[in-house]
Structure formats: structure tokens, C-alpha cells
Amino acid sequence: MADVSVRFQVAGDSEIVLNLATGQAVRLVEAIMRKVSEAMSAQAAAQGGAGAMPPAMPMQMPGWPDMTSGPSTGGGPQHRLPPA
């Protein structure tokens, strides 16, 4: 049985649900964060460095995937990380 259900909104009403053990869910979130960081660094480098973005356009991280603990049927309370 999965410890955590990770839900990704795909398009419209479609979603992908991964039922993972807690350790797997943590590794997934870490891998996503690492890829986002790499993509943002590459984008900043292509624009001439991090200072090339105007201050009126702050960089925003994408939202965390919905993580619901409980059985793989999706039961249980919702747990969300606090905003950064």
C-alpha cells in the first residue's frame, strides 16, 4: 500500500496519480526541484545572467504537487508544504 498519493494536473480534468512510499515521494519532489533549478539557471545564463531579468518580473517556482497521505484510494487528509 502506498504512503503518499502524488497528483499532477495534466490538462483540463485529466490528472496523473502516483501512489508512492514516502521516501519515493521525497526523492521525486527533490528530482523535480533539481530539474526546475537547472532549467531556471540555464534560462538566466541565456539571458545574460540572473541580473538580466527586470525586478518587476520575480521568478516564481511552480506549485508543489498535491500530496495526499492514506490508502491508494486517495483517502486521508491533504498535506501541503507552506509557501516559500
* Full pLDDT tens readout for the chain, 84 residues: 578 998 889 888 899 999 999 999 999 999 999 999 999 988 888 877 655 555 555 555 566 666 655 544 454 555 566 665
Distance, C-alpha 17 to centroid of its chain: 13
pLDDT of residue 33: 94
What is the pTM for the complete model shown? 0.49
pLDDT of residue 27: 93
Whether 73 is in a domain gets the answer no
SS3 17: strand
pLDDT of residue 47: 79
Whether 4 is in a domain gets the answer yes
Whether 68 is in a domain gets the answer no
6 CB burial (10 A radius; 0-12, 13-18, 19+):
buried
Whether 12 is in a domain gets the answer yes
Domain with 21, as residue range(s), is 1-44
Whole-angstrom distance, CA of residue 70 vs CA of residue 62: 25
Whether 33 is in a domain gets the answer yes
Whether 29 is in a domain gets the answer yes
Whether 56 is in a domain gets the answer no
pLDDT of residue 69: 54
Q: Could you give the number of structural domains in the chain?
A: 1
